[in-house]
Amino acid sequence: MAAGPRSKAEEDAPASRAQSDANRKLKYISLAVLVVQNASLILSIRYVRTLPGDRFFATSAVVMAEVLKLVTCLLIILLQTRLSLRETAGLLHDAIVVQYKDTLKLAVPSLIYTLQNNLQYVAISNLPAATFQVTYQLKILTTALFSVLMLRKSLSRVQWVSLLLLFAGVAIVQVQQEGNKEASLANGANQNYTVGLVAVVISCLSSGFAGVYFEKILKGSSASVWMRNVQLGIFGTVLGLLGLWWNDGPAIAERGFLYGYTGMVWCVIFNQAFGGLLVAVVVKYADNILKGFATSFSIVVSTVMSVYLFGFHVDLLFTVGAGMVIGAVYMYSLPKAPAGSPSLSSSSASSASPRAVEGDEMEAFLPKSAGKEKGS
């Protein structure tokens, strides 16, 4: 007896299951990429900044990373216009020159991002990688506070508790590090714990403000995130060059822009330049819980690797403090109960770079007509 024709739902079931399996695999791949990117950047910067021999100029590395990000975003926009140089030039002229007021608004976050990138080198050069990774999670606290103040966003009770837990955990880690500061300074040459701590705190404040300011600009504009990153890249390169001239001008004039660059230094620069963009791509497949897991797991990875690479000592206080921070990051990433108020955890305080692209923006990554680009 011949079977009757299958329903559309039955025909679509295998495809649906295959898509579900593919998405599940992509989620775990995204998690792995986020963990590797978060941990490797901190560890690699710490490694190259503590190696004996010629030390590269951090200001030149920041400028190089900005140039690479700028070129990458320009190439993506070129792909979106199907490799049409004329259309790409028209879009750039309209977004940067014609709408110059919008472009000038990007000067503020660009200045802060440039300062933040330089401060990260200062902080990681003077703090153990694991301590920096834990303390740097204060950016979640600063982002949350600026979002409440500037964007009038609401936080759930769990999120407020997680922020208190985060602050307490970082405080415990700092107490532990204060006790070990003399031993750390005796083992590490030319390191100043106080300078590193001040640098990471200012970096967290600047990260929170710049991220929320950038989000506010994005929500009030129809420009694509890639175009916004081009505008940021232009300002970032110019401001980075000014910082380079101000801080290291005579030394770079004498020794050269690429002084002290090694293969490992180039790896750090490429990681810093493309890390945020890579995270932007994979975040499309990772929800906030996975991002929280990634940040938490990267702290564990950084701590374990610091023990083997840099002789970092883990005691009970550090374990308790780091555990509280990891728990706080996970709690904060939990979805809020359905309500009319917007959720902060969906964008602002993501563990990814503040310049990362939101997931739904990735539809514009592949070439398509310019008219179909989605705003943020």
pTM as predicted = 0.76
Q: What is the distance between the terminal CA atoms of the chain, rounded to a whole angstrom?
A: 56
Please name the residues in contact with 267: beta carbons below 8 A apart, sequence gap of 6 or more: 44
Say if residue 369's pLDDT is above 70.
no
What's the rounded mean pLDDT across residues 170-183? 73
Is the model's pLDDT at 370 over the cut of 50?
A: no
Judged against a pLDDT cut of 60, whether residue 92 lies above it is answered with yes
Rounded to the nearest 10 degrees, the angle between the axes of helix 225-255 and helix 85-92 is 90
CB atoms within 10 A of CB 342: 13
Of the ranges 29-33, 50-54, 166-170, 273-277, the best mean pLDDT one: 166-170
The residues that bridge with 51 in the sheet, in sequence order, are: none
pLDDT higher for 141 or 288? 141
Q: Percentage of the chain surpassing pLDDT 90?
A: 32
Residue 188, both tokens:
């590490």
Q: How long a stretch of residues is the chain?
A: 376
Q: How far is it, in rounded angstroms, from Cα 239 to Cα 61?
A: 13
Out of 176-185, 274-283, 316-325, pick the least confident: 176-185
Q: What is the mean pLDDT of residues 155-165?
A: 90
Measured distance CA(75)–CA(309) in Å, rounded:
37
Q: Classify residue 219 by burial, with Cβ atoms within 10 Å: 0-12, 13-18, 19+.
A: exposed
Tokens representing residue 194 in the block:
């106080």
Mean pLDDT across the stretch 258-266?
92
Provide the pLDDT for residue 284. Answer: 61
Least confident range of 126-130, 177-181, 197-201, 248-252 = 177-181
pLDDT given for residue 239 in this prediction: 93
Which is more confidently placed, 362 or 47? 47
What is the model's pLDDT at position 244? 94
Per-residue pLDDT band for 324 (boundaries 50, 70, 90) equals very high
pLDDT tens digits for range 208-247: 898 888 878 777 666 777 888 898 889 999 999 999 999 9
Q: What is the pLDDT of residue 11?
A: 56
- How many angstroms separate the CA atoms of 85 and 197, rounded? 46
Q: Cα separation of 197 and 123, whole Å?
A: 7
Contact 210, 146 (CB under 8 A): no
β-strand partners of 343: 154
Q: With cut-offs at 50, 70 and 90, classify the pLDDT of residue 103.
A: confident
Name the percent of the chain in helix, strand, coil, to the closest 5: 75, 0, 20
Cβ-in-10-Å burial (0-12, 13-18, 19+) of 24 comes to: exposed
pLDDT band (50, 70, 90) for residue 180: low
pLDDT, position 89: 92
Per-residue pLDDT of 65-83, as tens digits, reads 999 999 999 999 999 899 8
Q: Going by C-beta distance under 8 Å and a sequence separation of 6 or more, which residues neighbour residue 84?
A: 78
Position 362 confidence tier, pLDDT thresholds 50, 70, 90 = very low
Note the pLDDT tens digit of each residue in 17-68: 766 667 677 777 777 888 888 888 889 999 998 888 888 999 999 999 999 9
Nearest 5°: the CA angle 207, 212, 218 is: 125
Burial track 107-146 (b if 16+ CB lie within 10 A, e otherwise): bebbbbbbbbbbbbbbbbbbbbbbbbbbbbbbbbbbbbbb
DSSP class of 357: P
Over 70: is that where the pLDDT of 8 sits? no
CA dist 50 to 65, 117, 143, 310, Å? 20, 18, 30, 9
